[in-house]
Amino acid sequence: MRIALGVEYDGTDFHGWQRQRTGRTVQGCLEEALSRVADHELAAVCAGRTDTGVHAVEQVVHIDTTAVRDDKAWIRGGNANLPADIRIQWARETDDTFHARFSAHRRHYRYVIFNRPYPSAQFRHRACWVYTELDEASMRQAAINLLGEHDFTSFRALACQAKHPVRTIYTLDVNRHGDFIYIDVVANAFLHHMVRCIAGVLITTGRGEASPEWVKQVLDARDRAAGGITAPAAGLYLVAVHYPERFAIPRSGWLPEYGR
């Protein structure tokens, strides 16, 4: 039996999603909690592996189990055995053709920038603080250069293990609400650090240190060294994963929004 689950977590105190020999991970905590509910050892597969410090509003996960439990048992039992910084939001039985990672056709990340001269105690793990005033109009103009299918070598970590660097970005929006700037990226898939590299380049243009056209030069260079800084993990959220309608995967329907 295959069970799909929607999982929310605060990534601040985790060494990312993936289970490791040492260090606290989301996968390790989730597998331990759900194995107690199932009364046998389980492996959890996710839609997208998040790095240390990265958050998820809705990470989609699947498990295979011989245990017969109703949806509420997976939710309530799982949450009862999870730490407070991970919560299961929904659970449902699905067929074996569903795969949390390979069935997904789009993923949506939001990067949150806190833009004012002085830092915040409240948002130090929830947003990237930039003290110089950013021009969101320049950032928005720069973002247009990254829409569509491209080789994103300049926007991937040097340690990225993806087989190829070609990805398709369907949406790349930049919007300001008060002291907060939101970068929303929807793509078919992402490379390691891809959103954080995009955020770093857009911050550079927002500071006036480079023109919006410079982003196209970075893209065409196909060289990570051309891309400048990688923005901090604290501002990054996985907010939605899109699947074919036949799987009837629920959606949480909310985004991290501050300053409204």
Q: Could you report the per-residue pLDDT of 119-134, keeping only the tens digit for each?
A: 999 999 999 999 999 9
Class of residue 49 by CB neighbours under 10 A (exposed 0-12, middle 13-18, buried 19+): middle
| pLDDT at position 243 | 96
Banded pLDDT at 46 (limits 50, 70, 90): very high
The domain spanning residue 74 has which CATH number? 3.30.70.580
| pLDDT at position 260 | 57
Residues 234 and 110 in one domain: yes
In a domain, 254, yes or no: no
Residues 112 and 45 in one domain: no
> In this structure, what is the dihedral angle of CA atoms 202, 208, 211, 212, given to the nearest 10 degrees?
30
DSSP 180-219: EEEEEEEES---TTHHHHHHHHHHHHHTTSS-TTHHHHHH
Active site residue 71: no
| pLDDT at position 45 | 98
| pLDDT at position 256 | 87
Banded pLDDT at 158 (limits 50, 70, 90): confident
| pLDDT at position 143 | 97
pLDDT-above-70 percentage for the chain:
99
| pLDDT at position 1 | 94
Q: Is residue 249 within 8 Å of 218, Cβ to Cβ?
A: no
The CA-based angle 194-184-27, given to 5 degrees, is 60
Rounded Cα distance, 155 and 198, in Å: 6
| pLDDT at position 240 | 95
Residue appearing with tokens 């650090």: 193
Residues 127 and 50 in one domain: no
Q: Is residue 196 within 8 Å of 154, Cβ to Cβ?
A: no
pTM: 0.95
Rounded Cα distance, 198 and 218, in Å: 10
What integer best gives the mean pLDDT of the chain? Answer: 95
Residues 123 and 225 in one domain: yes
Q: Is residue 110 within 8 Å of 55, Cβ to Cβ?
A: no
| pLDDT at position 163 | 87
In a domain, 74, yes or no: yes
Q: Which domain holds residue 83?
A: 2-103
Banded pLDDT at 142 (limits 50, 70, 90): very high
- Active-site option among 10, 13, 51, 179: 51
| pLDDT at position 259 | 66
Least confident residue range of 38-42, 93-97, 219-223, 256-260 = 256-260
Residues 29 and 84 in one domain: yes
With residue 73 as reference, give the H or E element that holds it: helix 71-80
pLDDT-above-90 percentage for the chain:
89
| pLDDT at position 162 | 79
The domain spanning residue 210 has which CATH number? 3.30.70.660
Q: Is residue 233 within 8 Å of 56, Cβ to Cβ?
A: no
Question: Mean pLDDT across the stretch 205-230?
Answer: 93
In a domain, 249, yes or no: no
| pLDDT at position 257 | 86
More confident residue, 26 or 229: 26
More confident residue, 159 or 208: 208
Banded pLDDT at 258 (limits 50, 70, 90): confident
